[in-house]
Amino acid sequence: MNLQDSLSQEMVISFFKANVTDDTGKISALLFDGRFELFEDCKAKNGGQFPEEGDIVIIKGRLKGTDAVFADEIVKQDCKIYKNMRDLK
């Protein structure tokens, strides 16, 4: 997961890119900083920083093609997840 700047002829666009994987596949999530102040909102919901590699996240946004999501919100999931019933004690 990293923060990048993209240059265009008109302006510099900052975005946060996360490559997200699960059991079904891999997809890139892009969070663009613009007029809606999505970076500050993302940091506020995640304890003052962006999610880091290895974090479990919930992403809300719009699917763009088959390999990217334009994210409106990326929030770390901090609840304990149990994969087996025997782990629950």
Using one digit for the tens of pLDDT, what is the confidence trace for 16-64?
Answer: 888 998 889 999 999 988 778 888 899 899 999 988 888 889 999 999 9
Edge-to-edge strand list for the sheet holding 26-32: 2-7, 12-21, 26-32, 68-76, 57-64
Using one digit for the tens of pLDDT, what is the confidence trace for 5-20?
Answer: 566 567 777 888 889 9
Query: What total of structural domains would you count in the chain?
Result: 1
Using one digit for the tens of pLDDT, what is the confidence trace for 63-85?
Answer: 999 999 999 999 998 888 777 88
CA atoms within 13 A on the CB side of 52: 4
Q: Which residue has the higher pLDDT, 59 or 87?
A: 59
As a whole number of angstroms, the distance between CA 23 and CA 34 comes to 32
Task: Find the domain containing 13 and state its range.
Answer: 2-87
As a whole number of angstroms, the distance between CA 13 and CA 7 comes to 6
Q: Which tokens is 85 given?
A: 């019933």
Count of CB atoms situated within 10 Å of the CB of 56: 12
Query: Domain holding 34: CATH number?
Result: 2.40.50
In this prediction, residue 28 carries a pLDDT of: 92
53-57 long-range CB contacts below 8 Å, 24 or more apart? 53/1, 56/81, 57/18, 57/20
> Model pTM?
0.75
